[in-house]
Amino acid sequence: MGRETARPAQEAIMGQWLRSIRGSVVLAAAFAWVTPAFALEVGDPAPDFELAASDGKTYRLADFVGRQAVVVAWFPRAFTSGCTIECKSLAENGDLIRAFDVSYFMASVDPLEDNTRFAESTGADFPLLSDPSRDVARAFGVLNPMGFASRHTVYIDVDGRVAAIDRNVRPASSAEDMAAKLAELGVARR
């Protein structure tokens, strides 16, 4: 093979290599874009919120501070597979969570009407909070760039500080996992 024929072959190989590198960089950038930057850390004051719920009430974190621990289980969308499994887990095994002195909620950026219908369809016996403005999800650091909440559960102690953040929620065992975390955190039992 002469120099004249080797050079185009080398340029072709170099071009393929550069395209594959560029593709990897684009892919890495896409994953960085989809993964939300979690603003809250353990020990931070939890952002106060005032959100309407599926039970017709409005809940404010400030009403619980100094009185009771709170758990907010953020979920992406009502009526989707994983969210339905998670909601049913919490509804069917809520007695495990109610053994603790805690108020617990699921929350999403869905409209209140959707969350109310979702709560009814899953038999949820706890409130589902609606944040259609996305302001609270943004303050909690769970709003992803696609416009919905990431599946994260935030545990807030009696003093209103973040006690734990579960970024790897398993929908099918969410109630059992939540109860185990509450025990681990030393939340008082009823």
The residues annotated with a catalytic role in the active site are: 83
If we measure between CA atoms, which residue out of 89, 71, 73 comes closest to residue 81?
A: 89
Contact 83, 74 (CB under 8 A): no
Query: Rounded to an integer, what distance in angstroms lies between the CA atom of residue 190 and that of residue 115?
Result: 28
If we measure between CA atoms, which residue out of 151, 182, 181 comes closest to residue 74?
A: 151
Q: At what angle do helices 112-122 and 81-92 cross, to 10 degrees?
A: 60
Query: Rounded to an integer, what distance in angstroms lies between the CA atom of residue 30 and that of residue 114?
Result: 30
Q: φ and ψ at 19, to 5 degrees?
A: -65, -40
